Amino acid sequence: MNRLLISLSLSLHGRALLMRKTGVSRDDVAQRLDDAMSRNVDLSSGRIMGSMCCSPHPIAVEAHMRFVESNLGNPGLCEGTLELENEVIKMLGNLVNLPDPYGHFLSGATEANITAMYIAKKITGRRKVIFPRSAHFSVHKAINLMNMEPVKIGLDDDHRLSLDDLEGSLDDDVAMVFTVAGTTELGTVDPIRRVGEMVSDVPIHVDAAFGGFVLPFLEEMGRLEERFHGWDFSVDEVSTMAIDPHKMGLATIPSGALLKRQGLDMGTLAVPSPYLTMPISYTLSGTRASGAVAGAYAVMSHLGREGYLEVVRSVMDETTYLKKRLRELSMEPVIDPVMNILAVHHHDPISVQERMREHGWFISRIEGPKALRFVIMPQVFRGALDDMLGDLERVLKAV
């Protein structure tokens, strides 16, 4: 059993897990919550460098709390939130070149990926899903749930979906080509425009959970190489996209969205919901959190394109700095970072990761190729990077 599971079972052991007959005071509850909170790692400490989660912007937190009780699953009772949802979807669509933006605010990219696959299955009536080896594991959840046939294909030398493998896999039973704009491990972008040229009537889904709030701004700054352009709805064959405000959008959890091109049959997921205020339910979740919608609306309106441009500029500068410092420690990047994700080769990333954890640093790793992985989120500041590098240098000597 890993250390986290052991500590979880120890901490639960001996605690009264039944609901008390008589409740405890607010102070006692607060104390218990403080205790729980003190055992969480604080994102804003900058010590978590292997997670895509962000410290939400204060305006998002405030908005989230104000809308905490309304349920978007019954939208007739919260028309105000419904309006905010539509506005967020429009802003997101605008960011990724979707004309007439349409879509839903969901719990995150897992739900968006599942929903997109469900739609593709219903529309095409086919069974195969082609996806690159670099796709997030949520693709397997979707495939298992819908009993689709997985067609996992390889990557090219740049760790992007292999067009040769794709060509060899396309046939008339393909329901979807699943592509990634911002891979979880390396932050690279599949050649989606080229995929579009190769498929004819097969829907392309883009998982831009992470990249959706990075790539548009890199493009605007001229910091995205030409070969990565054409990853969004500017490619005609792209029919759906997952994009997560709770990652680089600085919104609160759970904030995800599924965007769909107009003209796609929207009725696919709909079921009658006669006893609610709207006769049809379009999303996988019934009850839907409004707080996160308000949070995403607040931070996206407040920061605007210029605000996010600054966020992305700053994380990219820190990524470049980290790359330089790691090179000085003889650690070479697996790819030149496209976004604020940096993986560097190391023969024993597990040991390094464990020892860094003992020093209070939470970095990540990948297996193929063996490498340490850093995600430089906006809350990871320069001082934290320098402190981490000091400990890393000591750890590297011992491994």
Task: Catalog residues that contact ligand 0PR under the rule CB under 6 A.
Answer: 51-53, 108-110, 136, 138, 180, 182, 184, 207, 209-210, 244, 256
335 vs 274: CA distance, rounded Å: 52
User: The tokens of 134 are what?
Assistant: 């670099």
Which of residues 81 and 184 has its CB atom nearest to ligand 0PR in the complex?
A: 184
Least distance from ligand 0PR to the Cβ atom of residue 160, Å: 14
Least distance from ligand 0PR to the Cβ atom of residue 107, Å: 7
Which of residues 78 and 113 has its CB atom nearest to ligand 0PR in the complex?
A: 113
Least distance from ligand 0PR to the Cβ atom of residue 93, Å: 19
What are the backbone dihedrals phi and psi of residue 256, each rounded to the nearest 5 degrees, phi first?
-140, 165
Which of residues 362 and 381 has its CB atom nearest to ligand 0PR in the complex?
A: 362
What residue type is 278 in one-letter code?
M
Least distance from ligand 0PR to the Cβ atom of residue 136, Å: 3
Least distance from ligand 0PR to the Cβ atom of residue 167, Å: 24
Least distance from ligand 0PR to the Cβ atom of residue 171, Å: 26
Cα R_g (the chain), whole angstroms: 22
| Residue in this structure with the two tokens 């970072």, named with its chain if needed | 337
Which of residues 189 and 392 has its CB atom nearest to ligand 0PR in the complex?
A: 189
Least distance from ligand 0PR to the Cβ atom of residue 276, Å: 25
Least distance from ligand 0PR to the Cβ atom of residue 364, Å: 8
Q: What is the dihedral of CA 374, 379, 384, 389, to 10 degrees?
A: 10
Please answer whether residues 81 and 292 qualify as being in contact, where contact means their C-beta atoms are separated by less than 8 angstroms.
no
What residue type is 219 in one-letter code?
E
One DSSP character per residue, 221-235 reads HT-S-GGG---STTS
User: The tokens of 396 are what?
Assistant: 């590297």
Residue nearest to ligand 0PR (CB): 108
Which of residues 208 and 352 has its CB atom nearest to ligand 0PR in the complex?
A: 208
β 174-180/128-132 pair status: parallel
Least distance from ligand 0PR to the Cβ atom of residue 375, Å: 8
Nearest to 57 by CA among 319, 257, 383, 311: 311
CA-to-CA dists, residue 139 to 113, 120, 132, 233, 364, angstroms: 7, 13, 10, 20, 21
User: The tokens of 200 are what?
Assistant: 């004819």
Which of residues 88 and 180 has its CB atom nearest to ligand 0PR in the complex?
A: 180
Which of residues 109 and 395 has its CB atom nearest to ligand 0PR in the complex?
A: 109
Which of residues 78 and 108 has its CB atom nearest to ligand 0PR in the complex?
A: 108
One DSSP character per residue, 110-176 reads HHHHHHHHHHHHHHH---EEEEETTS-THHHHHHHHTTPEEEEE-B-TTSSB-HHHHHHH--TTEEE
Q: Which long-range contacts (CB under 8 A, 24 or more apart) does 330-338 make?
A: 331/372, 334/159, 334/186, 334/366, 334/369, 334/371, 335/158, 335/159, 335/186, 335/188, 337/187, 338/182, 338/186, 338/187, 338/188, 338/189, 338/218, 338/224, 338/225, 338/228
Least distance from ligand 0PR to the Cβ atom of residue 294, Å: 18
Which of residues 50 and 101 has its CB atom nearest to ligand 0PR in the complex?
A: 50
Cis peptide before 132 (omega within 30 of 0): no
Nearest to 198 by CA among 174, 180, 227, 219: 174
CA 302 to chain centre: 21
Which of residues 78 and 340 has its CB atom nearest to ligand 0PR in the complex?
A: 340
Least distance from ligand 0PR to the Cβ atom of residue 189, Å: 11
Which of residues 120 and 209 has its CB atom nearest to ligand 0PR in the complex?
A: 209
